[in-house]
Structure formats: structure tokens, C-alpha cells
Amino acid sequence: MKCIPLYSSLPPNLQQRIFEPPPPAKANGAIGRKVVVSTNIAETSLTIDGVVFVIDPGFAKQKVYNPRIRVESLLVSPISKASSQQRAGRAGRTRPGKCFRLYTEKAYKTEMQDQTYPEILRSNLGSVVLQLKKLGIDDLVHFDFMDPPELLNYLQSLDDNGELTELGSIMAEFPLDPQLAKMLITSCEYNCSNEALSITAMLSVPQCFVRPNEAKKAADESKMRFAHIDGDHLTLLNVYHAFKQNHEDTQWCYDNFINYRSMKSADNVRQQLSRIMDRFNLRRTSTEFTSKDYYINIRKTLVSGFFMQVRISSNIAT
């Protein structure tokens, strides 16, 4: 038996393994099997020849935007009937096949929605609006498919008439969510643009921490060595600094349960963002690490972009 994983961030050369033939039959007559363990990328993106059996668990990971807390999350959610049919259709394309669904017929008929919600209904459209404004498409507020982009007003990237501000024009040049773009631009005022670049780059790539099943405790202990009392953003900054201080060493990444590919991607993103900053003469500076203002300035920069996520403690016992 040959087992092959398949997911979108898998390198293309490894994705191609799904097209390899199954192992040859053994001398005693046992047939060789190829098993592909896939995310929902296999629903519609490609056809794998020779699939005989499909096992459908009835769930998929979906990116969902929560407008109340203004955060995008990757959630495990039940699939729709349409997705269920797509999965079943993977079997029997080139030969007879069968789909085994790990949910009841009653659940299929009564609990699953007919169609998957379009991504435009479950995504943060802030960066899309900025790009459309930059292209000269003006009447966005009255589109039926979109709520008024209040976040962009709060970030001062759109004025009260829905027009791009000078700040908004610069933000639209960054391939980032508006909050991250605002944070990056503001970081120059607080003398911490180098650190903001690193944090933004780390937030723009897949999870950098690796937690294998056979070494969960060791991985958790390793992660704690990078942890910062002020939260995840500064923890990611610690990881990036350590990666660079260790000369981007693959062995260091392996020993510390860090995803080398994610770190290299972050480094590439950082360089791209640096070039955009240079185009607008946004200074790349850092507060002296020994200064008491080093972390204060970084926190101020984070709040400049993510003030909508600030929580106020009421000091009321619950």
C-alpha cells in the first residue's frame, strides 16, 4: 500500500505523486493499493485516474470571516449536499467505483445545506474594496453583495464620501489585509518598521510551528521558548529573529519544530513588502532593543491597525 497526502500548500513536485501508479501486486496475489488522503482540493481541482473508493467524512476546513470580532478563522465545518455529490463523483470516473459516506442519510437530507456559501459571503472584503477603488471603480457602497466598508473608514483609508484618502492609496499598493497595511505604514512613526515588516511577513504565511503526533510535548516545549508575554505577534517576531540569527539553518528549524518552508516564504514576503515601502519612501528603522520603548512602540503599531480588536476589561466577576 502506498499512502500519499494532498493539500494546497504541498509543493507541486510532491502533489504530482498522486498520479503515480499503485504498487504492483504481490506474488501471493494481494493487489497493490494507492491511498490519497486529501483536503477538499480533490473535489473539483483535479481528477485522479483509477479511483475506486472514496471515503467522505462530511467535513471540510473553510476560511470564515467573523464580522463581530473582525477575524478570519479556518474552521472545520459540515459540507453541503453539492460538495457531497462532488466527492462521490471522484469515484468511478475511469472505472466502476463506490463512495462511503461517514454520516447518515437523515443527516444528509435534514442537516446539510444545499450549496456551499460563496466565499464572497464569508470573507473579509476590505482589501478587495481598496483594490477596486485604486482601479477607479467608484460606486462600491451600493453593491447589493457588499456591506458598507466601515472598517476602511475607521482605518482612514476611505473618506466619508467613499473616496480613497492619501493613506488609502498607499495601503492599496500592499498585497495585505487593510489592518496589516495600516500597521506597516504607521510603524515608521513609531520607529519600528523593521519589526512590523517581520511580524506582517510571518502573519502572511502558513503556520510556522510544527507539532508532530509523536513529539507533541517536545514541540510544545520548544514553542514556549519563543513565547512572549505580550502575545502571538511578538512570539512570531522572536521566531523570525532566531531564524535569521541561526543563518536560516534547516537543522535548527528541525531541532526547534519550525517549518523551514514557512520561514523562507516569510523571508520572501518581507523582501517584497520592503520594496513596496521603499517606493513610498517609508523608512525602515528600529528602536534600540535595550530601550524601554522597544516593545511599547511595537504594541502601539499593532494597535494602529487592529484597534477594532481591542477588548476592554469591565473588572466584573463572572
Radius of gyration from C-alpha coordinates of the chain: 24
Q: For the chain, what are the domain ranges?
A: 1-38, 55-123, 173-309
Distance in angstroms (rounded) separating the CA atoms of residues 171 and 112? 40
230 alpha carbon, distance to own chain's centre? 22
55-123: which CATH number, 2.102.10.10, 1.10.540.10, 3.90.180.10, 3.40.50.300?
3.40.50.300
Name the nearest CA neighbour of 305 among 204, 213, 210, 185: 185
- What pLDDT score was predicted for residue 223? 96
| Grid cell of 129 as nine digits | 474594496
Angle at 66 between CA 135 and CA 301, to 5 degrees: 70
Mapping DSSP to helix (H, G, I), strand (E, B) and coil, where does residue 2 land?
strand
- Report CA torsion sign: 146, 152, 157, 161: positive
Q: pLDDT tens string for the chain (318 positions)?
A: 889 888 877 778 888 888 888 888 887 777 888 898 988 888 766 677 778 899 999 888 877 766 665 666 667 888 888 888 888 888 877 778 899 999 999 999 888 888 877 666 666 666 667 766 666 666 665 555 444 457 778 888 888 777 888 998 899 889 888 899 999 999 999 999 999 999 999 998 888 999 998 999 999 999 999 999 999 999 999 999 999 999 999 999 999 999 999 999 999 999 999 999 999 999 999 999 999 999 999 999 999 998 877 777 666 654
- What pLDDT score was predicted for residue 260? 94
Name the nearest CA neighbour of 30 among 22, 38, 41, 40: 22
Instruction: Tell me the C-alpha to C-alpha distance, in Å, between residue 286 and each of 157, 188, 227, 233.
Output: 25, 9, 21, 16
Distance in angstroms (rounded) separating the CA atoms of residues 112 and 58? 9
- What pLDDT score was predicted for residue 147? 45
- Report CA torsion sign: 197, 199, 204, 210: positive
Mapping DSSP to helix (H, G, I), strand (E, B) and coil, where does residue 65 land?
strand
The Cα diameter of the chain in Å comes to: 77
- pTM for this one? 0.62
243 alpha carbon, distance to own chain's centre? 21
